[in-house]
Structure 1
Amino acid sequence: MLDPRLLRAFVAIVETGSFTRAAGQLNMTQSTISQQLSRLEQAAGQPLVAREARPVLPTPQGERLLGYARRILALHEAAAVALGDPAGSSALRLGLPEDIFNPAMCDIFRDFAARCPQIRLDVTVGLSRELMRRYRAGELDIVVVKEQAAARDCRASFAEAMGWFESAMLARDWADPVPLVVFPPGGLYRDVMFQRIEREGRRWYVAFSGSSLHSVLLGVERGLGITLLPLAAAEGAGLRRCAAFGTEPAMVVALYAWESGGAADDLVARMTDLLERRHRRSRAML
């Protein structure tokens, strides 16, 4: 491995054409810079400058090394600058359901990143139960989750208006067994759907299981079955309310955060404000 300090001495000698001027440029004695060049030549196994020339010139081998040496030194300096830059040096770990991680929420994250470049936002999008498990385990710093009831330590909570949806394009008679479009096992809406239909003494089957909100919306839109979703999540999709199942009790959107004070508090406040506006919009849809 070629030591950058030795390469710097070599480049300075070639660029100034003099051991004396190179030593002055690097704030070294002439004997020190001469020793560094000798060590580099020993590592390279061949002479790199013609010492007898005036000005001092690189040998053919030195000319070949010169370009590489300059690139190595430039990369070395760039790495030192990067390591000294505090941007992204600490992380704030967030977890959100897919329908909450929307353009408006991403805009909040963008503004926060611009104000606090030293903090990197590590965002996980997933099912609420898994996000809450990870939060309780200390793996996430801030989470927004869907629950049937918020815990006492939540920072904010809002009622989440729910509704049963079917395709707005394809009319069907939902006779037993009822085809359902669901999220994977562990999804909160999935369990509530099964419980509601079973309470009514009806039969059901899973017609389609989608791993994302987009896939569930598309499955319902194309007539694969019915589903239960927050009103806000279905907004703008090709769905309509399914009259066969009427209304459903609201769930809760809750925000939790371990940290109190500092930059995270401002982020929590802005996220809370967005969730409140989302809540008002969903109430207007009832």
Structure 2
Amino acid sequence: MLDPRLLRAFIAIVEAGGFTKAAERLHMTQSTLSQQLARLEDAVGQTLVDRDTRPIRPSAAGERLLGYARRIVTLQQEATAALGNPAGTAPIHIGLPEDIFSRSMARLFGEFSKRHQEIRLDVSAGLSRDLTRRYRGGEFDIVVVKEPAPSNDCRASFPESIGWFESKDALNAWPDPVPLVTFPPGGLYRETMFERIERERRRWYIAFSGSSFNNVLVAVEGGLGITLLPNAAALGRHVRPYAPFSDEAAIMVSIYAWENTGLIAELVEQIGAALSERSSRPGPS
């Protein structure tokens, strides 16, 4: 392995064209510099500079080594700088439902990261039931989930209104059986949809099952069926409330965190403020 200190001495001699200027550049004596070059030549088994020329020039072997030497020294400097910079060395793992990860939430995370450059945010989106399971298993430091009622250890909880939606292009009453647009089994709204539509004594079938909020909303916008969603998620989309069904009971959006100190507590507070603002917005009409 070639010692980067010896490579720096060799580079300095070639670039300065002599031992005197190179020694001044590296803040060492000429004898020390000569010893370092001699050690490097012993290591590679070849003479690297022509000591008889003025200015001193690299030998044929030295010319071949010079480019590699510069790259090795540069990489060592980059590695040293990277290891000495704490940016991104302290991860915070966050889980939250897909519709909660909005542009405003992304901006919140971005501003937090700028203030605390040592933090690396690792954010995962998914279904609330799976997020809860993973949080209880220790995969997340902070998790936001939707649930019928918060557990005793939640840090904060906010009501979220939910309602039935159809495409704005829907012209006539839906046929019997009515087509439903749903999340896959395990999705939070799926069972509530089935219970409600059966209480209405309506027959139904699943016309579309999407694994993301965007897929579900696009399917409803396209007229594939009706669905149950948070009112906030429907804002700005080409959907309207489905008049025959009134809103369902609000669901709770809860924040959980294993710690309540330091940067975790700061981030939980900011997420809570964003969710509070979100829950106060009126739904589409």
Cα offset, 1:67, TM superposition: 2.9
Q: How many residues align?
A: 285
- Matching of residues 116-195 of structure 1 within 5 Å: 116-195=116-195
Paired residues of 2:161 and 2:247 also in contact (CA < 8 A): no
1:276 aligns with 2:272: no
Cα offset, 1:170, TM superposition: 2.2
Code of the aligned partner of 1:2: L
Structure 2 equivalent of residue 218 of structure 1: 218
Cα offset, 1:190, TM superposition: 1.4
Cα offset, 1:134, TM superposition: 1.1
1:119-147 deviation line (CA, Å, top 9, x unaligned): 11111111111111111111101111111
Code of the aligned partner of 1:226: I
Cα offset, 1:18, TM superposition: 3.6
1:252 aligns with 2:271: no
Structure 1 equivalent of residue 68 of structure 2: 68
More displaced stretch, 176-185 vs 29-38: 29-38
More displaced stretch, 15-24 vs 118-127: 15-24
Cα offset, 1:24, TM superposition: 5.4
Counterparts in 2 of 1:285 and 1:207: CA distance versus 1, 3 Å: closer
Any stretches of 5+ residues in structure 2 without a counterpart? none
Q: CA RMSD in A?
A: 2.1
Distance 1:95 1:172 in 2: 40
More displaced stretch, 106-115 vs 1-10: 1-10
Distance 2:16 2:208 in 1: 74
Code of the aligned partner of 1:155: R
Structure 2 equivalent of residue 209 of structure 1: 209
Distance 1:249 1:97 in 2: 19
TM-score (norm 1): 0.91
- Matching of residues 52-63 of structure 1 within 5 Å: 52-63=52-63
SS at match of 1:152: coil
Cα offset, 1:258, TM superposition: 1.4
Cα offset, 1:203, TM superposition: 2.8
Code of the aligned partner of 2:2: L
Code of the aligned partner of 2:235: E
Structure 2 equivalent of residue 114 of structure 1: 114
Cα offset, 1:19, TM superposition: 3.9
Distance 2:174 2:148 in 1: 27
Structure 1 equivalent of residue 36 of structure 2: 36
Paired residues of 1:163 and 1:230 also in contact (CA < 8 A): yes
Code of the aligned partner of 2:141: D
Code of the aligned partner of 1:204: W
Cα offset, 1:45, TM superposition: 4.1
Paired residues of 2:235 and 2:284 also in contact (CA < 8 A): no
Distance 1:39 1:207 in 2: 77
Structure 2 equivalent of residue 243 of structure 1: 243
1:21-50 deviation line (CA, Å, top 9, x unaligned): 545544556555444333433443432111
Cα offset, 1:183, TM superposition: 1.4
Code of the aligned partner of 1:50: D
Counterparts in 2 of 1:26 and 1:220: CA distance versus 1, 3 Å: same
Code of the aligned partner of 1:195: E
More displaced stretch, 172-181 vs 98-107: 172-181
Cα offset, 1:179, TM superposition: 1.2
More displaced stretch, 204-213 vs 30-39: 30-39
Cα offset, 1:175, TM superposition: 3.4
1:238-268 deviation line (CA, Å, top 9, x unaligned): 1111123323111111111112121222221
Paired residues of 1:170 and 1:222 also in contact (CA < 8 A): no
Paired residues of 2:156 and 2:272 also in contact (CA < 8 A): yes
Distance 1:215 1:161 in 2: 20
TM-score (norm 2): 0.91
Paired residues of 2:147 and 2:251 also in contact (CA < 8 A): yes
